[in-house]
Amino acid sequence: MKKRFAMPIFSFHRYLGYYPTPNFEKGKNRHNSLGYRGDEIVMPKPEGEYRIVCLGGSTTYTSKIEDYQLSYPYLLEKNLIDAGYKNVKVVNAGCSAWSSMESMINFEIRVLDLDPDMVIVYHGINDVHPRLVWPPSAYRGDGSGSKIPGIPYIYTPSVFEYSTLIRGVMIKLGLSKPHSAITGILTIPPETYYGDLFREQMIDKIYPSGIFKKISAEQMLMTNQPIYFRRNIENIVILARENGIKTILATFAYSPLFEELPRAFSKEYRTAYEETNNVLKAVAEKNDVNLFDFAGLFPNDKRYYTDGRHVSEEGAKLKAKLFAQYIIDNNLIPDEKQNIKGIGSREQQPYSKIENIDE
């Protein structure tokens, strides 16, 4: 009876729109009771534990990999533990299709309750989509020009839906949806959003057609600069600092070798990725926080990706290793916080200690 009905991977959230469904389980994937991908999180945080939270979208959730134990945050924790940091806990706070706006809100209303010592911010592609809107007035900080709730307003159901029997028949006939339908929770694109149309035309090799004959995707991106991305990232940095939390901003890696996929290969998206990465670098410099140029280190070899943006299992392993290397090389986890004998200075913990993990 417990699993009589399939549990959706996402659930409605009052302020985020949707988030990972708490206690979700399917195959080798699972969410804990707080709605984070992975094992249960001990609350309150145990004394001596150093807690790292990874903020991001599907590239943090690692959505193309079914097994949660092969996601990059899970493997990052394993790498750090195997390198000597025995009291480290890494939390996967990523969610598919979240942009920096959702991560900013999530950080404020959910992640702070976890009492993190460090946050890793990894965003890119989901902050490009909202810029592909027209006219310019549709480009707004709340992202409403590119997506609106599946339920745009609160309404009174049809009188027929008050009957469970009639509602069941209507669902069977396609005249209604279950009250738990995820399509009523997720966002839908408004008429001002052209990101999907750009992708479709590029795949069909008919770009530019329609609106793009008047206003190209490149012009949309040039007009709609990543000002809201910058604002969201700066707000995360400031909020972290005010709460005594260390921040790592990481540049977004992609592979242009997937020539059939516009969001990896097209010059429009590649230019936009570089713009968002430059914003991250500027924010890090201005606010004196850690900047990990992950994009500059991660290879664009297709074996590390599933689609040019999301990592494969092999890519997740390498991604975790590179993040672990950055944390270790920059002494970002204080030894006294760990209270472990024999660790010594992080300068004495070369990356070679984690080179062969999971290979």
Do residues 283 and 233 make contact, with C-beta atoms less than 8 angstroms apart? yes
- Give me 330's structure tokens: 């920059």
Going residue by residue through the chain (359 aa), what tens digit of pLDDT does each one get? 445 456 899 998 999 999 999 999 999 999 999 999 999 999 999 999 999 999 999 999 999 999 999 999 999 999 999 999 999 999 999 999 999 999 999 999 999 999 999 999 999 999 999 999 999 999 999 999 999 876 554 445 566 666 778 767 776 766 666 655 544 556 678 999 999 999 999 999 999 999 999 999 999 999 999 999 999 999 999 999 999 999 999 999 999 999 999 999 999 999 999 999 999 999 999 999 999 999 999 999 999 999 999 999 999 999 999 999 999 999 999 876 554 433 333 343 444 444 444 43
Query: What is the dihedral angle through the alpha carbons of 45, 94, 221, 265, rounded to the nearest 10 degrees?
Result: 130
Residues 6+ away with beta carbon under 8 Å from 252: 59, 122, 123, 124, 125, 273, 276, 277, 280, 294, 295
Asked whether the beta carbons of 346 and 354 are under 8 A apart, the reply is no
Torsion of CA 177, 182, 185, 186, to 10 degrees: -120
CA-to-CA distance for 87 and 93, rounded, in angstroms? 19
In this structure, the number of other CB atoms found within 10 A of the CB of residue 136 comes to: 12
Closest CA to 72 of 315, 269, 295: 315
SS (H, E, C) 296-332: HHCCCCHHHECCCCCECHHHHHHHHHHHHHHHHHCCC
In degrees rounded to 5, what are phi and psi of residue 237? -60, -45
Domains of the chain, start order? 15-144+218-354 (3.40.50.1110), 151-184 (no CATH)
Quote the pTM value: 0.86
Asked if 53 and 93 count as a contact pair (C-beta separation under 8 A), the reply is yes
